[in-house]
Structure 1
Amino acid sequence: MGAIYLVRHGQASFGAADYDALSERGFEQSTVVGRELARRGVEFAQVRSGSLARQRDTAATALKTLGSDVAVVEDPRWNEYDHVDISRHHAGGAPQEDSREYQGLLDAALGAWVAAGADGPCAETWPAFLERCTAGLTDLVESLGKGEHALVFTSGGVIGTIAGAVLGVPEVGLLKFNRVTVNTGITKLTSGRGGVNLLTFNEHPHFEAEAAQLLTYR
């Protein structure tokens, strides 16, 4: 049975001029998850990434550590929702200053984004986001041969939404699962005759013991 490993990007640069850049800790996390993937000894037939810098840099760093020479295919369908646009329309453009305060405002904004549906004011509505995430997954699944594995470097909102969609509750995935995803956590989906199933969500034993200080959620 084939499997798809979804890896959330390393810590981005909250509050900086360029949020999309990995922080120093984000690069460290990317190296650690590369070691974890190497430890598992999985051979990946395909590797994909969103087109955001934090996703691409996580992929490059992890794959260097993993020692994989599989070419990364960039696909913007694995990009995160636009949190700036969503907060602008549904949270009054909340500034990125205090991370906890901002997260609370963003959580409420995401709920309003979902509730607004296809008529929402954002450039990308919730139904459109959901459709592109699931389409990206469907295309990847269909491109895999029997028993082949794929690795995807993406973001928490995408992972949470896909995990929820597989369980039949995409809104819960976005609003609840997304909230607890850790940087470079691993979510594993299986693909077979029975379709796509969620096997594990947000694995992060690679941030236990001596690596515990690297664990971050934002």
Structure 2
Amino acid sequence: MGAIYLVRHGQASFGAADYDVLSELGRAQAGHAGRELRRRAVEATHARCGTLSRQRATAELALAEAAPGLAASADVRWNEYDHVDIAAHHGGGAAQNSADPRAYQHALEHALAAWIEAGAAGGCAETWPDFLARVRAVLAELVAELGKGEQAVVFTSGGVIATLCGDLLGDAAGGLLSLNRVAVNAGVSKVVTGRSGTTLLSFNEHGHFDGAAAGLLTYR
């Protein structure tokens, strides 16, 4: 049986001019996630990440701890949905505001629901059906590459992970809307593959942020 560990990126720079940069806390989270993978004795033979800066940096910092010498191959299909484009078309142009992140999250969730509802008729550069098709395809491709008993680690984003986990449970849209809001930075979800297919084993594990590491726990 093979295994794929889906790791959400560390905290990005919410409200800053360039969101797509790990904060200092995000860098610490990434390294801590790598140490957690090492503690679990994950022996990854495959490593992947998206092309976004926050994803690539998380991969570099985590793999330095978990599997020195293993580099993540970047693939745009692991990238997050375009929250700016979705907010522009379905959320009245709501922008990140570091002074009121809850209000932005609320507006984004409504925009995501409208994006899903619009389907292929949505005005975004990437519609919901397009997004769903690409994340399904990149996961299926990785599953096909895994040999018997091999493990892979993927550094991606909350929306991708929530969508895939929801899809494996039979409701991709519900997964994005319900699971994404509780995904923690540098949380770990585990998917296993075998004769019976691809199965979600765990979602959003974050016990590595308990106890002395509780100060590293963030959701946004």
Aligned match for 1:131, one of 106, 130, 133: 133
Which residue is 2:179 aligned to? Answer: 177
Deviating more after overlay: 62-71 vs 193-202: 62-71
One of 193, 196, 202 as aligned partner of 1:194: 196
Q: Which residue of 2 aligns with 1:42?
A: 42
- 1:161 equivalent to 2:179? Answer no
5 Å-filtered alignment, 1:197-216, equals: 197-216=199-218
Query: Shift of the alpha carbon at 1:71?
Result: 2.6
SS at match of 2:70: coil
- Per the alignment, residue 148 of structure 2 pairs with 146
Matching residue's letter, 1:60:
E
**Shift of residue 42, structure 1, vs aligned partner:** 1.4
TM-score normalised by length of structure 1:
0.99
Q: CA RMSD in A?
A: 0.7
Contact 2:63 2:71 in 1 (8 A): no
CA offset at residue 119 of structure 1?
0.6
| Residue aligning to 1:29 | 29
Aligned position for 2:18? 18
SS at match of 2:21: coil
**1:153, CA displacement in angstroms?**
0.1
1:68 CA displacement: 2.8
Within 1, Cα distance between the matches of 2:168 and 2:153?
A: 18
Q: Which residue of 2 aligns with 1:119?
A: 121
Aligned equivalent of 1:75: 75
**How far off is 1:142 after superposition?**
0.3
Give unpaired runs (5+ residues) of structure 1.
Answer: none
- Residue deviations 1:118-154, cap 9 Å, x none? 0101110000000000000000000111110000000
SS of the equivalent of 2:15 reads: coil
Which 4+ stretches in 1 moved above 6 angstroms?
none
| d(CA) in 2 for partners of 1:190, 1:95 | 37
Q: Give, in whole Å, the separation in 2 of the partners of 1:118 and 1:194.
A: 32
Stretches of structure 2 lacking an aligned partner (at least 5 in a row): none
Are the equivalent residues in 1 in contact too, given 2:84–2:95 (CA < 8 A)? no
After TM superposition, list the pairs within 5 Å mapping 1:82-97 onto structure 2. 82-97=82-97
Letter in 2 for 1:145: G
The answer on 1:102 being equivalent to 2:120 is no
Superposed displacement of residue 67, structure 1: 3.6
The count of aligned residue pairs is: 218
TM-score by structure 2 length? 0.98
Matched AA of 2:125 = A
Matched, 1:55 2:55: yes
